[in-house]
Amino acid sequence: MKKVVIIGGGFAGLNIAKKLSKSSSHQVTLVDQHNYHFFPPLLYQVATAFIEPSNISYPFRKLFQEKGIRFFMGEFQELLPEQKKIVTSSGSLDYDVLVLAMGAETNYFGNEEISKNALPMKSIEDAVEMRNHILLQLEKAVRAESAAEKTRLSNIVIAGGGPTGVELAGMMAEMGRNILTKDYPEANFRLGKIYLVDGLKTLLAPMSQKSQNEAIKVLKNLGVEILLDRLVQGYDGKEVSLSDGSKIEAATLIWASGVMARAVEGVPKDAVGKGRRILVDAHNKVNGLDDVYAIGDQCLQLSDVKFANGHPQLAQVAIQQGDLLGENLINIAQGKTMEPFKYNDKGSMAIIAKFKAVVDLPKGFFKGFFAWLVWLFIHIIPIAGFRNKAKLAFNWLWSFITNDPTLRLIIRPDKKE
């Protein structure tokens, strides 16, 4: 049996692991820094206290029961290709075939001040931290003495008007409308304003113009302040500076503005492309390395004619690349040839507010309640585990009917420890 080591159990890594587990020709070990797989598209609902972290995460060891896949918890540190070995925080592993699937991380474009003071949105920890932070600022706001300080503490600036920024802004605006005045009856001031800032002239830039216009209209109606054609340039923890020279006093800056692939020590320098993505051929083999593949957000594949500048960093690309590489490795083991990767773009969607979403299909666009229902349905299918799907569906039903989920808990590690 060939020893296949997969680093990263996101959409890409998990799909190839599952595919290979069906063949008797490979012994699969999946390495991840966490002991759970999670679903990033719903992180913003955790961050806004709408659903629980456990609704969108699932332990690897439970996922792999009776599948023959081994799990190794550790943080990847270095690749030693000559020795066919990887080094992690918990030890080394030998491989016959290595698959890099560590995804991407937040890109602050070298701005240290922002990286120190802004809140990212890439992991479950980030989402829980954001929930805690926002709720804590609101507690401080109701106690603050001056009106200016109350406003600063409850203002939220979101940098980045892509799907994540739009979804966060919509959800927070709904929270402000439906919940905050009930939760904070002692607040004799207008709680918080939400600012959504983007460097481009529109929101949802990768989507159709119809989707962009709808997002702007719905968010404006919800009271979100949309600031386009300017960048967030600095944040000292108190004041957000924009490229047009204006400033916004805010205790919260959320950074939903960009990602770059995770760095891999040991990959040749000329195999690293734009956005630090690892350059791969049509079969996802890393340029210049034998038996090392990269899939998902971490790779840049320029061989797909319809995506000559590389694929978008989306879940569907990661899933399809994981599936195909799994099939291809099985094919090689059976003496067959490999298929080149071609992305099947099924469309994109974003939820803007309650009962309102936009869906772009390869041949059309729709919006509103039906789009919202489709969004919910599409996002519940890939959630790992039947119990999680049922719990998530129930949480959504409860939260949407009552407009008042009960998860606004500030849970932090005990500081004494």
Stretch that binds ligand FAD, among 3-11, 141-149, 187-195, 323-331 (CB under 6 A): 3-11
Note whether 366 and 373 are within 8 A (CB): no
The radius of gyration computed from the CA coordinates of the chain, to the nearest angstrom, equals: 22
Determine which residue in the list 3, 70, 85, 122 makes contact with ligand FAD, applying CB under 6 A: 122
| Binding letters toward ligand FAD, positions 134-173, x by CB under 6 A | -----------------------------xx---------
Strands 278-280 and 119-120: unpaired
- DSSP E strand boundaries for 187-308: 194-197, 225-227, 232-235, 239-242, 247-249, 252-255, 259-261, 278-280, 292-294, 299-301
DSSP 8-state symbol, 337:
P
The helix/strand/coil state of 363 is coil
Stretch that binds ligand FAD, among 38-46, 278-286, 333-341, 405-413 (CB under 6 A): 38-46
Residue 310 in the binding site for ligand FAD (CB under 6 A): no
Of residues 153 and 278, the one with the C-beta less far from ligand FAD:
278
Residue 360 in the binding site for ligand FAD (CB under 6 A): no
Residue 30 in the binding site for ligand FAD (CB under 6 A): no
Residue type, 27: Q
DSSP 8-state symbol, 272:
B
Closest by CA position to 383, among listed 41, 30, 28: 41
Strands 156-159 and 194-197: parallel
- Smallest distance, Å, CB 121 to ligand FAD? 5
Note whether 153 and 137 are within 8 A (CB): yes
Place of tokens 């599936």: 323
| Binding letters toward ligand FAD, positions 66-105, x by CB under 6 A | ---------xx------------------------xxx--
- Smallest distance, Å, CB 130 to ligand FAD? 11
DSSP 8-state symbol, 335:
T
Stretch that binds ligand FAD, among 211-219, 285-293, 295-303, 383-391 (CB under 6 A): 295-303
Per CB under 6 A, residues contacting ligand FAD are 7-13, 31-34, 40-41, 43-44, 75-76, 101-103, 121-122, 163-164, 262, 296-298, 313-316, 318
